[in-house]
Amino acid sequence: MEKRALSLADIQEVPKESLVLLAGPPGAGKTTFCYQVVLNGLAMDRPVIFVTTEQGPGEIIGFLREGGLGEVPPGALSFVDAFGETVGVTTPERPDTTCANCEDLNSISIAIARQQGKIGRKDILVAFDSLTSPYLFNREEVFRFMRLCLLKFTAQGNSVLALMDEGCGKEEDLVAMMTVADGIIRTELREDSRVINVVKHPIVAPGKIETPLTWSKTITVKFDPRFRRRLAETAFLGGGRTLRPELGDFVNIFWRNLISWSGMLWDPKRFPTMAYELAKELEFASATETLAVLPWRMKLLFKLLLPKNFSEPKNAKKCFQAMKKSTENQGMQIGEYVEDASKKDEHYIKAYESYNCWGLDSVGARLAFQDCGLIAGSVKAMEKEERDWNAVETKCIGLGDPYCEYKVMPGEIDGMKGFLEGTDSSIVEKIHDRMMDQLVAFLIHNRPLGDRPTLGSGFFFPFILFVTYPSLLSERYRMALRMGGAKVGKEVGEHLMDAGLGEDEAIDRVVDLMNYCKVGRVTLGETIRMTENCETFGLDTGQLSCFFTTGFLNGLFSTVKSQHVREMKCIAAGDPFCEWEII
């Protein structure tokens, strides 16, 4: 069987009936990789047994929550605690935990079997972090344990990811462990990156992936060059140009907000800050590149019309007027520069019918943190002086105000932290519930999702990318999109089944929803195929990148049909369409 090209997404999902050994020196990122595999498994509705030999389950839960873990259904995540008894540490009793001891490999085998029996199904993932302690206690027995326990477990339709530190024992013992593994992944650290070397793998070709240890705020916008030029022409010149020839360039704002607020469920405190900062940097990079590819006449016009800096209100007004027409044409908002309230280096903009906040009135928080990032990035790119700019929302529909208002200033702004951290989990849950009510009313009773009086329901689809693009830079953001999508898909499926719909009708209605919102052109057969998918159209990442859509479809199908969905092709990877297999 021909193996897939190497991608991080594929190696972070352990195939059924496979034992993958993850080896590397201590501190090389093995545990971080393991956590990502666990989160991906939970997002795919796979039960996980986490065998821990280096810390207690409570600490692991804490790290998983930092990576995006939300509320876990009963039985989805359980533990074998082989740490506490081994080192004589008392760990809090947990109903999801069975204790074992690194000194007794048989106790670990029994504990895994006990947790397997409680789960009562196949396709379980065992994450074993790590084999190092059992090896140091039982060097002669670990190889046998792998064959008789872990391989037997995989032969029953399950999978195992086992971690092992290099340099903690004999090299020949590690080689022996590798001989029984179906996949071998080795990690190493460099100065500012982590190298993942796939030596062998059941479904992926060998190769290396180098990833940064943290995301960088210096962003290279990975748009297809042809798309970037057409985007510049469409955004600034209009004239009937379209980027998506089949569907046109507008997506229902409901879908954009569904993506954004579903991701917020997993990290409401840090998600807004990350979204603001990444949107700001991405917009700066994007606007800079867009201005560079404009026709020379447009460049000359901008040079003549725009002043050197935007400190004075009369100069800032010219900047915001240059942005006003395009933001309205793109369905983002109706903007108005508030000249009487503005002063030197402090500018105010009123925004009516903002796509960030429409339909979310009086939820109790300011909501346009991403739009503020876009504004700050745009002003920074358009000003000829090299100054940093920021924007904070001072009024919001979400607070019950009749419009949204932004304060835009160079440098730091007082109250920015409160703005970005003011959306706590109760607010996010309220927004989520309201959006789910709207969605279910549309699916079951055919009630409209809601139109704005002037701008209608659509907005320029490339701004979807400002929600999803940061997932390419941050594992936490990516997991938030995956997990948020899976949660929404599952809840939608449950509502439709509770309403008495048949399985096929429930799926068909969701497909109709996606087509209605112009997410893409979706067709359902033996696979799910989507052309012009707004989540990835125009991106050039070289990998499968439909994080929210995949999570959403998988949550839906696992609930309605007890099936799983896996992305096979992606526009961002160079394919002509996005496609998912149903398994």
CATH code of the domain covering residue 39:
3.40.50.300
pTM of the model: 0.68
- Binning pLDDT at 50, 70 and 90, where does residue 54 land? confident
Tell which of 391, 423, 455 closes a domain. Answer: 423
Higher pLDDT, 411 or 138: 411
Give the CA radius of gyration of the chain: 25
pLDDT at 501 over 90: yes
Domain match, 414 and 468 both: no
| pLDDT for 191 | 65
Distance separating alpha carbons of residues 260 and 428, to the nearest angstrom? 11
Q: How many domains does the chain divide into? A: 3
User: Which residues have C-beta within 8 Å of that of residue 122, sequence separation ≥ 6?
Assistant: 16, 156, 157, 158
Q: Could you tell me if 77 and 42 are in contact, meaning their C-beta atoms sit under 8 angstroms apart?
A: yes
Q: Looking at the structure, do residues 437 and 419 belong to the same domain, yes or no?
A: no
> Band of the pLDDT at 253, cuts 50, 70, 90?
very high
Question: Taking residues 537-546, what's their average pLDDT?
Answer: 86
Whether 362 is in a domain gets the answer yes
CA distance 250 to 205: 38
Whether residue 185 sits in one domain with residue 104: yes
AA identity, residue 365: A
- For residue 318, the model assigns a pLDDT of 81
CB 235 within 8 A of CB 460: yes
Alpha carbons 110 and 548: distance in angstroms, whole number: 38
| Confidence band of 74 (pLDDT split at 50, 70, 90) | confident
pLDDT band at 130 (very low <50, low <70, confident <90, very high): confident
200 in a structural domain = yes
pLDDT at position 219 is 43
Lookup: tokens for 325: 């027409």
Pick the residue with more confidence: 573 or 189?
573
Q: Is the dihedral of CA 435, 483, 55, 101 positive or negative?
A: positive
Q: Is the pLDDT of residue 239 over 60?
A: no
Separation of alpha carbons 292 and 314, rounded Å: 25
> In this structure, are 409 and 442 located in the same domain?
no
Q: Reply yes or no on whether the pLDDT at 88 is more than 90.
A: no
pLDDT band at 262 (very low <50, low <70, confident <90, very high): confident
Contact 404, 351 (CB under 8 A): yes
> How much is the average pLDDT of 313-330?
84
Distance CA 532, CA 521 (A): 7
pLDDT for 227: 67
Look at residue 267 in the predicted model and tell me its pLDDT. Answer: 67
Residues in the chain: 583
Contact by Cβ (8 Å): 198, 6? yes
- Tokens describing residue 551: 């999570």
More confident residue, 24 or 90: 24
Residue 216 has pLDDT above 50, yes or no: no
CATH of the domain at 560: 3.30.1380.20
pLDDT value for 475: 59
Q: Which of 401, 423, 445 is the last residue of a domain?
A: 423
Task: Note whether 580 and 553 are within 8 A (CB).
Answer: yes
Better-scored residue on pLDDT, 519 or 269: 519
Residue 217: pLDDT over 50: no
Does 254 reside within a domain? no
Q: Are residues 194 and 146 in the same domain?
A: yes
Q: Answer yes or no: is pLDDT of 464 > 50.
A: yes
The strands making up 193-200's β-sheet, listed across from edge to edge, are: 97-99, 77-81, 48-52, 125-129, 159-165, 18-24, 183-189, 193-200, 207-212
Average pLDDT over residues 89-103: 82
Residue 257 domain-assigned (yes or no): no
What is the 3-state secondary structure of 531-547? ECCCCCCCECCCCCCCH
Range of the domain at 361: 225-243+269-423
- The pLDDT value recorded for residue 530 is 97
Q: Are 213 and 202 in contact (CB under 8 A)?
A: no
Q: Give the confidence band of 85 by pLDDT, cuts at 50, 70, 90.
A: confident
**CB neighbours of 6 closer than 8 A, spacing ≥ 6?**
198, 204, 205, 206, 207, 208, 209
Residue 395 predicted with pLDDT over 50:
yes
Burial of 127 (0-12, 13-18, 19+ CB in 10 A): buried
Backbone angles phi, psi at 132, to 5 degrees: -60, -50
Please tell me which residue, 9 or 506, carries the higher pLDDT value: 506
Q: For the residues 372-390, what does the mean pLDDT come to?
A: 89
| Residues 182 and 314 grouped into a single domain | no
Q: Which range among 61-65, 427-431, 479-483, 544-548 shows the weakest confidence by mean pLDDT? A: 479-483
Residue 6 DSSP class: P
The average pLDDT across 434-441 equals: 94
pLDDT at 53 (0 to 100): 86
- Position 503 scores a pLDDT of 95
What pLDDT score was predicted for residue 8? 83
User: Residue 550: is its pLDDT beyond 80?
Assistant: yes
- Residue 199, φ and ψ in degrees, nearest 5: -75, -45
Q: Is the pLDDT of residue 67 over 50?
A: yes
Stretch among 399-408, 441-450, 503-512, 560-569 having the lowest mean pLDDT: 560-569
Residue 109 maps to a domain:
yes
Give yes or no for residue 372 having a pLDDT over 90.
yes
Least confident of 304-313, 333-342, 401-410: 304-313
Euclidean distance between CA atoms 21 and 46, whole angstroms: 19
Q: 445 and 330, same structural domain?
A: no
Give the SS3 label for residue 461.
Answer: helix
- The pLDDT of residue 35: 93
Q: Would residue 576 count as lying in a domain?
A: yes
Mean pLDDT value of segment 564-569: 86
Pick the last residue of a domain from 423, 441, 456: 423
At 222, the pLDDT band (50, 70, 90 cuts) reads low
Q: Please state the separation of Cα 93 from the chain's center in Å.
A: 33
Instruction: Mark whether 449 and 410 lie in a shared domain.
Output: no
Judged by average pLDDT, the poorest of 149-158, 209-218, 438-447 is 209-218
Decide if pLDDT at 523 tops 50. Answer: yes
pLDDT for the residue 240: 58
What whole-number percentage of the chain has pLDDT above 70? 88
Say if residue 293's pLDDT is above 60.
no
Residues 419 and 461 in one domain: no
- 461 shares a domain with 405: no
pLDDT, averaged across the chain: 86
Which element (helix H / strand E) includes 91?
none
Would you say residue 251 lies in a domain? Answer: no
Say yes or no: 487 and 408 in one domain: no
pLDDT higher than 60, residue 194: yes
In a domain, 218, yes or no: no
Contact 459, 449 (CB under 8 A): no
Residue 232 has pLDDT above 70, yes or no: no
Alpha-helical regions (H) of 102-186 = 105-119, 132-137, 139-145, 151-155, 171-180
CATH of the domain at 367: 3.30.1380
Choice between 265 and 428, residue whose per-residue pLDDT is larger? 428
pLDDT at 218 over 50: no
274 within 8 A of 474, measured Cβ to Cβ: yes
pLDDT (mean) for 339-352: 94
Same domain, 281 and 352: yes
